[in-house]
Amino acid sequence: MAIQTVMVIGAGQMGSGIAQVAAASGLNVLLHDIAEVSLHQGITRLTKSLGRSVEKGKLAEEEKTSILGRILPCAQLDRAAQADLVIEAIIESMEHKTTLFKRLDDLCRPHTILATNTSSLPITEIAAVTGRPSQVIGMHFMNPVPVMPLVEIIRGLETSDEVFGQIRDLAERMGKTPVEVNDFPGFVSNRVLMPMINEAIYTVYEGVAAPEAVDKVMKLGMNHPMGPLELADFIGLDTCLSIMEILHDGFGDGKYRPCPLLRKYVKAGRLGRKTGRGFYTYDSSL
């Protein structure tokens, strides 16, 4: 069955971005969040994003209005019964995700595909709590979603070829470049990226260089658009720590041990841009 209606669960930065690109591709989108304030903030965020595209001449005002018209904010999870595809973009917690997927399995029609935007958790484990493991798949978008072209498409152990093909084609319809990845901790993106960020944090922890120096070396010497510590602040240091812990637990290899300084910053509430302070200090009014 063709995918026409998508429910996106979680109206945060990732979820609102996914809702935007889905609606821009012509899909009808149900944007759900359990918190009404988060739902409002998500709509505001994607409206501003579309507005910037209009200002830059990349989008006509009429197109912006049309895209917004295809996005329906909804506080009721049972609206998932109307969706052909559900994309989950909630907190990176196996407990929260499996609880949600059990509920979705009961609510959704038999043909509905359940996708998770997890950045590192095992798809097979999430799929196992449902009665439709062949219809569960990873769809890992990059942040910011409207800008970044990559989507990692992650097969679980039971994910069917048909479902993989549908999600690959849908990603292309959304203007993304899908890359097939198998179900291993961190997939490809975070298995490569996070150890680099963790090592950059170690260089600060061991007094090798200041954060500004580390980032300057990587930007000017390696042609990275953003230094690893600046990027860590952008992602969220709590998210970085969570992914490193998943890698460390999943592989049992000491090379994935999170830097003690990363743990210290997270315990102190220095999570990066979202709290106004991480390796750098940010103006909360921006």
Q: Which of 25, 28, 32, 140 is catalytic?
A: 140
Q: Which of 190, 198, 230, 242 is catalytic?
A: 190
Q: List the binding residues for CoA.
A: 49, 56, 119
CB atoms within 10 A of CB 184: 15
For residues 69 and 83, what is the distance between their CA atoms, to the nearest angstrom?
17
Active site annotation includes 158: no
Q: Which of 25, 117, 152, 198 is catalytic?
A: 152
> How buried is 162 (Cβ within 10 angstroms: 0-12 exposed, 13-18 middle, 19+ buried)?
exposed
Give the pairing of strands 150-155 and 136-141: antiparallel
The token pair at 163 is 């479902």
Q: List the binding residues.
A: 10-15, 33, 49, 56, 92, 97, 119, 143, 274
* Beta strand ranges found along 52-125 (DSSP E): 71-74, 85-88, 113-116
Active site annotation includes 162: no
What residues does 95 pair with on adjacent strands? Answer: none
Active site annotation includes 190: yes
Active site annotation includes 140: yes
Chain Cα centroid distance, residue 183: 16
Q: Residues with catalytic annotation?
A: 119, 140, 152, 190
